[in-house]
Amino acid sequence: MTNSPVYIHLVPGTDPADISALYPYAAIVMVETDVTPEWRSTISRWLVDTGCLCMIAWGRECALWDDVVDWCHMEKYDFGDYPEDSFLPTSWFENYTLEEVFEFAKMHASHPTVELLHTVLLHISAAPDDETILKKYADA
């Protein structure tokens, strides 16, 4: 991916803004604090509904984020077939540095039939840290 990243910070429990104008996008979900299962489902559904077509999870319970995004995607299509251009590949990186995840994303995050126009850096934490995260992404 060669596009400029869009940093979004969310405090657990808050409602996300509508980012459907960024469709189609890849999301790197960085989870640095605990969240409730309900809120994880809400954010996962939001990713699916706003046009995420590639999701990479990193941080706390990243495997659960991968599973819940998959589940929300299947639910959107009533657990049946979905259009090829709606395929949503997901992955999670539990034992990697954030720099390694960013490097992977820049080299490999893609969709088989749709050009991803944006990269959303979704930072879930108590406080924003856009300068650090954007620098790490730029340096990867």
Q: Give 24-55 pLDDT, tens digit per residue.
A: 999 999 999 999 999 999 999 999 999 999 99
CATH code for residues 5-14+22-139: 3.40.1280
pTM, 2 dp: 0.96
pLDDT confidence band for 3 (50 / 70 / 90): confident
Mean pLDDT of the residues in the chain: 96
- Examine residue 83 and say whether the peptide bond preceding it is cis (omega within 30 degrees of 0): no
| 88, burial (CB in 10 Å: exposed 0-12, middle 13-18, buried 19+) | buried
